[in-house]
Amino acid sequence: MRRLSQISVFLCLLTIAACDSADCSLRNNVACTYCFYSDGESISLLDTLNVYACGTDSVLVNQEIGASSVNIPMSYWLDADTLIFEVCGEIYRLVDTVYVEKTNIPHFESPDCPTKMFHLITSVRCTHHFIEDIAITFPQINYDEVENLQIHIR
């Protein structure tokens, strides 16, 4: 009986030692950070901001008020993302289209983890209804939440 207990304990320890924990990153959100500026100073929008993915029914930012920045995921396989930025006040609605061209870079961590897609922004342009200019500040989109694009508002 004692020998059976020792064998059972040994098998339990062997089973536990055989288990492998997946080392997948818990910080696995890959998004582009857009920050808002006016006259060279960081600002918070006083109006309602909506952001849509063009050509889809995806709402990426929904009625955010007071935004100084927004994190927006990027498409995995497209070479360019087209976004609609809409700012609404009580008596007006301004819409600009933002075009972000990028290179997609597969990121592999472990066989237990899904492959993520990092991105490298190659160029950005927009229509100029309320956005005066967009500048690339950090072109690499990865797990780091850093300012990637500066949106300069008129």
CA atoms within 13 A on the CB side of 104: 13
Q: Considering the domain boundaries, does residue 86 fall inside one?
A: yes
Per-residue pLDDT reduced to its tens digit, 87-114 = 998 899 999 999 999 999 988 877 777 7
CA 129 – CA 117 distance, rounded (Å) = 32
DSSP conformation letters of 12-24: HHHHHHH------
Q: Which residues constitute the domain of residue 101?
A: 29-153
Q: Considering the domain boundaries, does residue 7 fall inside one?
A: no
Q: Considering the domain boundaries, does residue 6 fall inside one?
A: no
Q: Considering the domain boundaries, does residue 12 fall inside one?
A: no
Q: Considering the domain boundaries, does residue 110 fall inside one?
A: yes
Q: Considering the domain boundaries, does residue 134 fall inside one?
A: yes
The beta strands (E) that lie in the chain are given as 31-38, 41-42, 48-53, 59-65, 69-73, 80-88, 93-107, 116-126, 131-136, 140-141, 149-153
- The total number of structural domains in the chain stands at 1
Per-residue pLDDT of the chain (154 residues; tens, 9 = 90+): 555 455 555 555 545 444 445 566 666 678 999 999 999 899 999 899 999 998 888 899 999 999 999 999 998 888 999 999 999 988 999 999 999 999 999 888 777 777 788 999 999 999 999 999 999 999 999 888 899 999 999 8
Average pLDDT, the chain: 85
Q: Considering the domain boundaries, does residue 18 fall inside one?
A: no
Phi/psi at 3 (5° precision): -65, -40
